[in-house]
Structure 1
Amino acid sequence: MTIKPAHRRIATITVGVVVLLAFVIAGMTLRVPYVALGPGPTVNTLGDVEGKPVVEVTGAVDPDPKGNLNLTTVSLRDGLSLFQALGMWASGTYELQPRELYYPPDQTVEQVQQQNTEQMSGSETNATMASLNYLHKPVAIGVGAVASKGPADGKLAPRDRILTLDGVAIDGPKALADVLARHKPGDEVELTVQRGPQRLTQQVKLGARPDDPAKAFLGVTPQMMAADPNINIVFNVGDIGGPSAGLMLTLSVIDHLTPGDLSHGQFVAGTGTIDPNGKVGTIGGIPHKIKAARDAGATVFLVPAGNCDAAKSDAPDGIELVKVDTLTDAVNALDTLGTDEARPHC
């Protein structure tokens, strides 16, 4: 049997259409093992998020500092189709990275999100410590949260400063853990705490740790805070996770606890982890953060020293990249804004 040329053309077109449709459907539905990184939101640490101050300092020298000290973020898009991934890559705004770098195969999305939340909580604690240490203000271990129906429920309260446990001075989480390690569930201990202007003594019957019933459990989340009960520092960063906001949160606390404005009328943004001693650490996604900051109006960006090479490689025009290795570097650089004094650059 001979196939007529017209029928052959129809068959060829039909096959082509089927293949094209299959490709389109695959491109729209097939998920690729990559995530897209791009510029994320910037948040002024001197402003509000959802109606709450990002940094609130009771007992502040300057309760309402002016200006911009913006933390910066990276957006991460997951669950990309083939076409979405190609489109984002072609845009030049996003970069593709293997998904396993951000969502390890042995962890659920919820576990990764929990880790990010814990990292932010650690960053807030470090910001508190770094700012108080920089300002030479004494620190104390206090109560961050009290477990509902736990041993200390009704006895201790958030923001209590723990002074002694069984007569032993408590100056940090390790001291607290060491004293508790000498006890077993069911033991009664005596705590002296500072609650505002009051010094209280409380008797608490220890419970059993949920993860290890043989060990004693007080039922509080320890948190470092100012020893002065008149100074309380509270953070509210919304749903931002990870440790990279540490430097900017620290600068905001310092701005609240010192006269004048650290930004000196400039739109300042930045990034970097912080440790209690004021060391600034490197972070990921620096080009995206700088672009997001510039788009928001920033003219000065504080860059961790270890990120300078990456920052310089693709920085937009109109933004000054200031190199910082420590908290002191950052404050000193900000003090030169609006003057002819030199500051270190990437």
Structure 2
Amino acid sequence: MPRRTATMLTSTLLLIAVLCAAVLIRVPYAEMSPGPTVNTLGEHNGEPVLSIEGRRTYEPSGNLNMTTVRVTGADYRMNLVEAVYGWLADDSAVVPHEILYPDDKSAEEVREQNAEEFTQSLESAKVAALRELGIEVGERVVVASVVRGGPAQGRLHAGDVIRAVDGEPVERPDDVARLVTEHEPGEDVVFTVVPAKRAEEAEKKGEESGEGRDVTVRTTAADDDGRAVVGIQAGPDHTFPFEIDIRLADVGGPSAGLMFALGIVDKLTEGDLTGGAFVAGTGTIDGEGEVGPIGGIGMKTIAARDKGAEYFLTPEANCGTAARDVPEGLTLVKVGTLDDALEALERIRGGQTGALPRCAAG
């Protein structure tokens, strides 16, 4: 065989071997890409995303789209070819697998955490929106979670309203921890609670949930410092003067809070917050209206622009990263609070877009 032919054949075989190896080699990375974006003022899968009963509402025009990021599954392992392609592509991001799926958590635990964060973000969005409108929101202390295998398992349940501990009324979640730790491990604590189901039914009817019942739980010693614990996490909960229902399946995490809060405000006030413009955005929100940072900002701006957004409400802490690669035709608007977002929308609908606080590359 001629030397040139042999060289070409050897090179071809080596190339094939390298490509095969690249396909077979699994790397510890995951991929993020633009996900679906949904108008909080519109419908999704034939149902209103936001529905409000018991209060006069309005039908605004325009878009206030929440944005998402699509990620590879917890059990999926990218090969080297996919990773290199993802690194080179403009519409995806390759990140270490443990950033999305920590080694100390199972895939199911990650899903549960994302679902809990999403539920909490909806609660915060409702609170922030109603407070913005001057509508009173009730507050109470509930059992946020029960530790599996702990003393309270089977006796207290997530969602139970905690009225008192050892007969002393509680007003804040910290009160519960303080009163429990006044005991020595092995002593009994008496919780006065309203079961979650009864509290929920009363809330739907707009009624008081009635008197609580006493539940006795024996304390045990905490593993870290030996203090008395019962194996629950107390947290805040809120009651609303009318029903606000948010229907959006297969979405997790807290990053849609800002856009849901804006959607609620828009539906409860006459006129259009956007003036008919296509506005998208992202950001966590707390009950006081503070907007926090999120992950995957670059993928979300791409998703928004691909859907037709002209303006993107961007958490202040994400502005520097987002502004490094802005999709053409999209204006990034910096917001730190719900009030900031409402002021930005006022400028957009008033045609004063030159006065918008824009993101600058950091």
TM over 0.5: yes
What are the superposed Cα offsets for residues 143-176 of structure 1, whole Å, 9 maximum, x if unpaired?
Answer: 68899x94467xxx96x87666676554333345
Change (3 A) 1:325 1:80: same
Q: Is residue 130 from structure 1 mapped to residue 128 from structure 2 by the alignment?
A: yes
State the Cα distance separating 1:64 from its structure 2 match: 5.1
Change (3 A) 1:308 1:24: same
Which residue does the alignment assign to 2:213? 203
Which residue does the alignment assign to 1:41? 36
Q: Which segments of 5 or more consecutive residues in structure 1 lack a partner in the other structure?
A: none
Other structure's SS at 1:35 match: strand
Shifted more, 26-35 versus 115-124: the winner is 115-124
Which residue does the alignment assign to 2:173? 173
Which residue does the alignment assign to 1:19? 14
Change (3 A) 1:24 1:209: farther
Which residue does the alignment assign to 1:70? 65
State the Cα distance separating 1:324 from its structure 2 match: 0.9
Change (3 A) 1:146 1:36: closer
Change (3 A) 1:191 1:100: closer
Aligned-partner Cα distance in 2 for 1:45–1:209? 45
Change (3 A) 1:13 1:321: closer
Aligned-partner Cα distance in 2 for 1:310–1:21? 39
Which residue does the alignment assign to 1:264? 275
- Alpha-carbon RMSD across the aligned residues, in angstroms, is 3.8
Aligned-partner Cα distance in 1 for 2:43–2:106? 32
Change (3 A) 1:13 1:335: closer
Aligned-partner Cα distance in 2 for 1:335–1:187? 53
Which residue does the alignment assign to 1:224? 237
Other structure's SS at 1:337 match: helix
Q: Which amino acid aligns with 2:23?
A: M
Which residue does the alignment assign to 1:87? 85
Q: Which amino acid aligns with 2:63?
A: N
Which residue does the alignment assign to 1:326? 337
Q: Is contact 2:165–2:190 with CA below 8 Å preserved after alignment?
A: no
Change (3 A) 1:260 1:144: farther
State the Cα distance separating 1:323 from its structure 2 match: 1.5
Change (3 A) 1:190 1:281: closer
Q: Is residue 345 from structure 1 mapped to residue 340 from structure 2 by the alignment?
A: no
Which residue does the alignment assign to 2:306? 295
Q: Is contact 1:42–1:71 with CA below 8 Å preserved after alignment?
A: yes
Q: Which segments of 5 or more consecutive residues in structure 2 lack a partner in the other structure?
A: 147-152
Other structure's SS at 2:323 match: helix
TM-score by length of 1: 0.78
Q: Which amino acid aligns with 1:319?
A: L
Other structure's SS at 1:336 match: helix
Q: Is residue 284 from structure 1 mapped to residue 295 from structure 2 by the alignment?
A: yes
Q: Is contact 2:190–2:217 with CA below 8 Å preserved after alignment?
A: no
State the Cα distance separating 1:74 from its structure 2 match: 2.0
Which residue does the alignment assign to 2:150? none
Q: Which amino acid aligns with 1:67?
A: G
State the Cα distance separating 1:191 from its structure 2 match: 4.6
State the Cα distance separating 1:208 from its structure 2 match: 5.9
Change (3 A) 1:217 1:291: closer
Aligned-partner Cα distance in 1 for 2:178–2:242? 27
Which residue does the alignment assign to 2:138? 139
Aligned-partner Cα distance in 2 for 1:86–1:126? 39
Q: Is contact 2:176–2:234 with CA below 8 Å preserved after alignment?
A: no
Change (3 A) 1:207 1:264: farther
Aligned-partner Cα distance in 1 for 2:357–2:313? 10
Which residue does the alignment assign to 1:244? 255
State the Cα distance separating 1:30 from its structure 2 match: 1.5
Change (3 A) 1:210 1:113: farther
Aligned-partner Cα distance in 2 for 1:211–1:255? 49
Aligned-partner Cα distance in 1 for 2:52–2:173? 23
State the Cα distance separating 1:293 from its structure 2 match: 0.3
Q: Is contact 2:91–2:302 with CA below 8 Å preserved after alignment?
A: no
Q: Is contact 1:129–1:224 with CA below 8 Å preserved after alignment?
A: no
Q: Which amino acid aligns with 1:290?
A: T
Aligned-partner Cα distance in 2 for 1:185–1:248? 47
How many residues are paired up?
334
Aligned-partner Cα distance in 2 for 1:107–1:343? 42
